[in-house]
A and B are shown apart, each in its own frame.
Chain A
Amino acid sequence: MGPLVPYIISNEFNLVIALIIGFFFGFVLEQAGFSSTKKLVGLFYGYDFTVLRVFFTAGVTAMVGVLLFYHYGILDISIIYINPTFLRSAIVGGAIMGLGFIMGGFCPGTSVCAAAIGKMDAMLFVLGSFIGVFAFAESYPLIKDFYLADAMDPVTMFEMLGMSRLAFAIVLTFVAVFAFVATWFVEMKVRKQPARVSKTRGLRYSVAALLPFVVIAIVAFLPGRQEIIQNKIAEAQRQKECVFYEISADELANEIIHNYYKINVIDVRTPAEYEQFHLPMAMNIPIDDITNRKWEMVFNQDVKTNIFYAGDSLSVRMACLKSRFVGDAKNLILTETAAEFKTMFYDLEQPDLATASKQEINEYNYRSNAIREMRQLVDALKNIGQPVVREVEVASGGC
């Protein structure tokens, strides 16, 4: 699941990726004609709307793509960078940039492109940007309060408007398509050309304009990753085709005592239930959280065996099945529930020696030993991550 940095691609290699991405960024900008200042400012005088077309098409493409990736669980959008909002500085800064745009005829990205192919005016613009950033750095102490005013965190547009993510995507795509059509008429008028297109061209553009809506419809109506997993689990249960390898509580106790470093004991109940009681050495991964990418390293490895347990036999099977969609670690499920484990070990009662069978007494001896050893183990490993603290004795002297 994306983003690939830093788990799959390291932060160092990310800089190489930056170079490659920059290559394509620069290539497309230059191909779009953004290395010409006349083309850029054409937007503001109505004779060339290339900037608007490229810009909005790119924005809508990426936005719809992000939605699609999110829907199919390819991209975790809860951790991607969303620009923080500082309302006043965003508006004033934007207004200053707009003035700079119309005076200089470039924006930073396009000026770099134009300078790269030898446009001297663009080189001056880049030089100017350095001066501008330097001026900002020097005046920063004076305007810091303004710079930090109205902090709103990384808030999104659809949250501000109180609509759903999808509704906003539809609105923005509509606005973009409307703008494309309207500006085309304006452009034709300014250029004094008849506003007509051939039938095939018109058809092609219509299909292209429909595409983002189709993708949004897919996201809205077709099942996403979570639903697909749920459906597959339900299907597997209906067909009874899945095999679960079980481990009994006594065996698990033995594993915990002797092989705790080879197993992950996973509690799939809610954090509240986990707090109340959990097995020794258990970690808490609630069943809804299993597909969260932060647990990927638990479910996708071939070193440790995962042993699941829950409050009932159905949800432990659900959890075990679900984890198979994340990775291919070896999975076992505990036959007993959490409560049964508690009765068997923690609330262990001594059987009446006179009437109890030999098996019962053996069981009791085994379990009482096991719980003692498990308690010792938990106690011994409690501080495993902590550094050893040594008391520093201050030398005392004098008389």
Chain B
Amino acid sequence: MNPYLAGFLLGLVLLGTIYITGRGLGASGAIKSGVIATVESVAPQHADKGLFYVEQAEEHQGRPLNNWLVFEVLGVVIGAFFSGVWANRVGLKFEKGPKATNWARVIGALAGGTLFGYGSQLARGCTSGSALSGMAVMSFGGIITMFAIFGSAYAFAYFFRKLWLK
């Protein structure tokens, strides 16, 4: 799909979201809910003591998965799968840069995910929730986070070029 058309459609989805719900899109919040739900069911004693879980428990009222973003991300999974089927792109695949070894990609993906997960909590949102939705409502914090994400990725790009380039 033409990227500008895709962007326009994505913008309409975001606009519709703001119009209907008064909030923007997101992704990392659902992961947070998943982590909280896991910790609360696997190690309830730990969840009772940990400051983060206690603070979050006040918000979710005992039902961490009864959350807007959890349902939204479930929708993302379905929507992306539907799109993949439509475009005939579904299938188990391990994607990596042409020069990268499998192990480098495994470690890179895991470490990258970990960092992104950590950073998204610190900055109160990821590329969707903070940068994109923040831009739509002209939030100062959102736009600052956007610059920080892309600026930092550019700054570190040189060091990880062997992961991606020929």
Contacts and interface: CB of A to CB of B under 8 A. Distances in A.
Interface of A: 2-5, 9, 14-33, 35-38, 41, 43-45, 50, 53-63, 65-66, 69, 74-75, 77, 79-87, 89-122, 124-138, 140-141, 143-144, 147, 152, 154-160, 165, 168-169, 172, 180, 205, 208
A273 B89 CA distance: 68
Which 3 residue pairs across A and B have the least CB separation, nearest first? A104-B112, A22-B75, A128-B113
Contact of A44 (B108, B119, B157): B157
Interface in B93-107: 93-97, 105-106
Q: Which of A35, A62, A74, A132 has the most CB of B within 10 A?
A: A62
Contacts of B74: 19, 22
A230 B83 CA distance: 47
A17 B21 contact: yes
A80 B15 CA distance: 12
B107 to A, nearest CB: 9
A57 B7 contact: yes
Given A30-B84, A35-B80, A59-B132, A130 B149 contact: no
Contacts of B1: 31-33
13 contacts: A4-B20, A22-B72, A65-B15, A69-B19, A81-B22, A82-B134, A93-B120, A112-B77, A121-B105, A130-B31, A131-B113, A136-B118, A147-B122
Nearest to B22: A3
A14 B68 contact: yes
B141 to A, nearest CB: 3
Contact of B7 (A5, A18, A55, A65): A55
Contacts of A87: 141, 144
B138 A99 contact: no
Contacts of A208: 4
Interface residues of B, number: 121
A90 B146 CA distance: 9
Contacts of B115: 96-97, 99-100, 103-104, 128, 132
A94 B149 contact: yes
A135 B88 CA distance: 37
B114 A128 contact: yes
Contacts of A25: 10, 13, 25, 72, 75-76, 79, 128
Q: Which of B15, B133, B135, B141 has the most CB of A within 10 A?
A: B141
A18 B156 CA distance: 35
Nearest to A76: B22
Given A22-B75, A43-B153, A60-B11, 8 more contacts: A30-B80, A32-B7, A62-B11, A94-B147, A118-B84, A129-B31, A133-B117, A152-B141
Please classify the interface of chain A as helix (H, G, I), strand (E, B), loop, or mixed, using the class held by over half of its residues.
Answer: helix
Contact of A66 (B9, B15, B52, B140): B15
A20 B73 CA distance: 10
A105 B108 contact: yes
Given A59-B132, A92-B122, A156 B79 contact: no
Given A98-B148, A137-B53, A144-B51, A104 B111 contact: yes
Contact of B10 (A45, A54, A94, A140): A54
B128 A165 contact: no
Interface string B6-48: 1111111111111111111101100110111011000000000
B68 A125 contact: no
Contact of A128 (B89, B112, B161): B112
Contacts of A157: 138-140, 143
Contacts of B12: 61-62, 65
A74 B18 CA distance: 11
Contacts of B141: 83-87, 90, 152, 154-155
A61 B108 contact: no
B113 to A, nearest CB: 2
A57 B79 contact: no
Given A31-B83, A61-B11, A18 B75 contact: yes
B127 to A, nearest CB: 4
Contact of B27 (A2, A75, A107): A107
A132 B117 contact: yes
A124 B106 CA distance: 7
B4 A20 contact: no
B83 A27 contact: yes
Given A91-B148, A124-B106, A130 B161 contact: no
A390 to B, nearest CB: 31
B17 A21 contact: yes
Contacts of B111: 100, 103-104, 128
A30 to B, nearest CB: 4
Given A100-B112, A101-B112, A106-B112, A29 B10 contact: yes
A134 B165 CA distance: 32
Given A63-B135, A63-B138, A94-B149, A137 B36 contact: yes
B41 to A, nearest CB: 14
Contacts of A104: 108-113, 115-116
A117 B136 contact: no
Given A2-B22, A62-B136, A132 B114 contact: yes
